[in-house]
């Protein structure tokens, strides 16, 4: 559990105590070694008082960060370790944070072409755009309580098997459903979408007699 009252070097670097969240974003400590210098590992600063909520809201010491510029700044140094833990990391320092679900939210969809030539591009809540394909696959999880589909798209890789994803918002998911077509996958008829020459299943085809 994060100790919000404890001083933290990296938190002070990211948001110094004298800077209000409504003021211009502070500069990160991103200095890199000069040529010939020995590169050292970032100093570990323990837990940081950051939480990314399921709806994509970033909290600092329990309060929402209101400025998108700051959120984008922190998102640019977000890392995921082999064990699935989340970190804010600059070349100089790093600290662990909490993430309720995926750190980003896919809020807009743009599609071009059709069939196997179709491309689906997603814009996240931090204005990063990725196109679904081999490097950015779409996957569907299931809510353990309701069995409702929960879709995600990979934004970038982590240090291990756990990637950094964006949860696809419900309105965008409905747009995907509208673009979905039936295909045979592994002997099963699936319902899904094409993007960058790859088919992404959104679920089984419903029975015709249902």
pLDDT at 139: 96
Same-domain check for residues 94 and 116:
no
Domain termination site, one of 48, 74, 99: 99
Domain termination site, one of 49, 66, 99: 99
Indicate the helix (H) or strand (E) that contains 165.
strand 164-168
Same-domain check for residues 18 and 95:
yes
pLDDT at 102: 97
Q: What region, left, alpha or beta, does residue 38 occupy, with left being phi > 0 and alpha being psi -120 to 50 degrees?
A: beta
Profile the chain (210 residues) by mean pLDDT over runs of 10 residues.
47 48 46 57 91 96 94 96 96 95 98 95 98 97 86 96 97 96 88 96 62
With respect to residue 26, please indicate whether it lies within any of the assigned structural domains.
Answer: yes
With respect to residue 210, please indicate whether it lies within any of the assigned structural domains.
Answer: no
pLDDT at 185: 83
pLDDT at 2: 41
The CATH number of the domain holding residue 189 is 2.30.270.10
pLDDT at 210: 38
pLDDT at 18: 37
Same-domain check for residues 110 and 190:
yes
pLDDT at 11: 53
Same-domain check for residues 91 and 166:
no
pLDDT at 39: 58
Same-domain check for residues 127 and 62:
no
With respect to residue 110, please indicate whether it lies within any of the assigned structural domains.
Answer: yes
Residue 207: count of CB within 10 angstroms of its CB: 6
Same-domain check for residues 131 and 159:
yes
**CA angle centred on 132, ends 127 and 135, rounded to 5°:** 100
With respect to residue 4, please indicate whether it lies within any of the assigned structural domains.
Answer: no
Q: How many domains does the chain have?
A: 2
Same-domain check for residues 78 and 118:
no
Domain termination site, one of 66, 99, 132: 99
The CATH number of the domain holding residue 50 is 3.10.540.10
pLDDT at 4: 43
Domain enclosing residue 198, as ranges: 104-204
Residues constituting the chain: 210
Q: Strands across the sheet with 138-142, in order?
A: 129-131, 119-124, 104-112, 164-168, 149-156, 138-142
Same-domain check for residues 159 and 183:
yes
Same-domain check for residues 69 and 140:
no
């Amino acid at each position: 559990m994060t100790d919000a009252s404890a001083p933290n070097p990296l938190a002070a670097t990211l948001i110094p105590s004298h800077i209000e969240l409504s003021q211009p974003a502070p500069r990160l400590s991103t200095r890199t070694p000069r040529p010939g210098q020995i590169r050292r590992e970032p100093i570990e600063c323990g837990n940081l008082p950051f939480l990314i909520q399921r709806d994509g809201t970033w909290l600092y010491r329990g309060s929402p960060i209101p400025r998108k510029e700051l959120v984008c700044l922190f998102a640019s140094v977000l890392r995921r370790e082999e064990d699935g833990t989340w970190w804010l990391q600059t070349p100089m320092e790093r600290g662990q944070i909490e993430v309720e679900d995926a750190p980003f939210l896919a809020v807009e969809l743009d599609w071009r072409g059709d069939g196997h030539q179709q491309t689906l591009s997603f814009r996240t809540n931090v204005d990063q755009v990725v196109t679904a394909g081999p490097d950015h696959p779409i996957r569907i999880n299931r809510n353990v309580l309701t069995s409702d589909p929960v879709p995600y798209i990979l934004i970038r890789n982590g240090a291990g098997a756990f990637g950094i994803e964006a949860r696809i918002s419900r309105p965008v998911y409905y747009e995907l459903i509208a673009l979905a077509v039936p295909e045979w996958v592994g002997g099963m008829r699936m319902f899904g979408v094409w993007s960058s020459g790859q088919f992404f299943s959104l679920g089984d085809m419903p029975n015709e007699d249902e």
